[in-house]
């Protein structure tokens, strides 16, 4: 199984990536992890990326691409992989496609987790995080038994700056602007499938598995 996952903040993509990796016995490759591994391992690419980050600059496309492609070449990725957070731009998608085609192991599907903006805002802006143990709650969906107090450790619950409503709305705007070309790229290749991401984690996973099976059948 070789998957690319797309979806806005609040769609639960990270959770689904983890669940799908388990289901298909594929490795999960998240861009954040690749960055951390390279920086921590002090690799040439890690040093390059770090220099940009320390200057407050975005790590350029080609550094991101080289990191991701290097990760895909490692033996544990041979059986299958799930990409979460990569590709993020058209150039990255093109580089990925080229590399996978050279290796004769094309993508199985690109899944787009779909959620209404208003639902995403409720999920994210409603989130409260324990200042002591980092457990998360939601003022609407997962309340603590005592307001603003963590059930587990008694710590104080706060809203992280990233979860403030205006920040969430901005992140959603950026997502829509930047990933639409990417969706089109995968759609043109017949790889894009939409998955309704509103519902329980189990429901969403089932829908994703079904979408992958449908696509495989169609392409067989």
Which chain residues interact with Zn ion by CB under 5 A?
A: 130, 132-133, 135, 150, 152-153, 155
The nearest distance, CB 150 to Zn ion, in angstroms, is: 3
Show Cβ contacts of residue 204 under 8 Å, excluding neighbours closer than 6 positions.
12, 16, 113, 195, 196, 197
The nearest distance, CB 49 to Zn ion, in angstroms, is: 33
Show Cβ contacts of residue 134 under 8 Å, excluding neighbours closer than 6 positions.
none
The nearest distance, CB 124 to Zn ion, in angstroms, is: 19
Q: Which residues are catalytic?
A: 13, 88, 127, 160, 171
> Do residues 54 and 65 lie in contact, with contact meaning Cβ atoms separated by under 8 Å?
no
**Residue nearer to Zn ion on the CB measure, 77 or 149:** 149
The nearest distance, CB 164 to Zn ion, in angstroms, is: 21
**Residue nearer to Zn ion on the CB measure, 154 or 181:** 154
**Residue nearer to Zn ion on the CB measure, 45 or 157:** 157
**Residue nearer to Zn ion on the CB measure, 98 or 134:** 134
> Do residues 121 and 152 lie in contact, with contact meaning Cβ atoms separated by under 8 Å?
no
d(CA 27, CA 36): 17
The nearest distance, CB 153 to Zn ion, in angstroms, is: 3
**Residue nearer to Zn ion on the CB measure, 106 or 154:** 154
> Do residues 18 and 5 lie in contact, with contact meaning Cβ atoms separated by under 8 Å?
no
């Amino acid at each position: 199984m070789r998957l690319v996952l797309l979806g806005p903040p609040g769609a639960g993509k990270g959770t689904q990536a983890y669940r799908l990796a388990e289901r298909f016995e594929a490795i999960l490759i998240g861009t954040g992890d690749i960055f951390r591994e390279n920086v921590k391992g002090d690799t040439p690419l890690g040093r390059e990326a770090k220099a940009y980050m320390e200057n407050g600059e975005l790590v350029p496309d080609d550094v991101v691409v080289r990191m991701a492609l290097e990760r895909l070449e490692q033996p544990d990725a041979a059986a299958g992989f799930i990409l979460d957070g990569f590709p993020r731009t058209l150039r990255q998608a093109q580089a990925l496609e080229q590399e996978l085609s050279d290796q004769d192991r094309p993508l199985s599907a690109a899944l787009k987790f779909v959620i209404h903006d208003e639902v995403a805002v409720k999920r994210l802006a409603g989130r409260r995080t324990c200042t002591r143990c980092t457990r998360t709650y939601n003022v609407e969906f997962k309340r603590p038994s005592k307001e603003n107090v963590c059930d587990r450790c008694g710590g104080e619950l706060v809203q992280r700056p990233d979860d403030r409503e205006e920040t969430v709305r901005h992140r959603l705007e950026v997502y829509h602007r930047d990933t639409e070309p990417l969706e089109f790229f995968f759609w043109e290749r017949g790889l894009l499938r939409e998955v309704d991401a509103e519902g329980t984690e189990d429901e969403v996973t089932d829908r994703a598995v079904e979408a992958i099976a449908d696509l495989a059948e169609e392409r067989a």
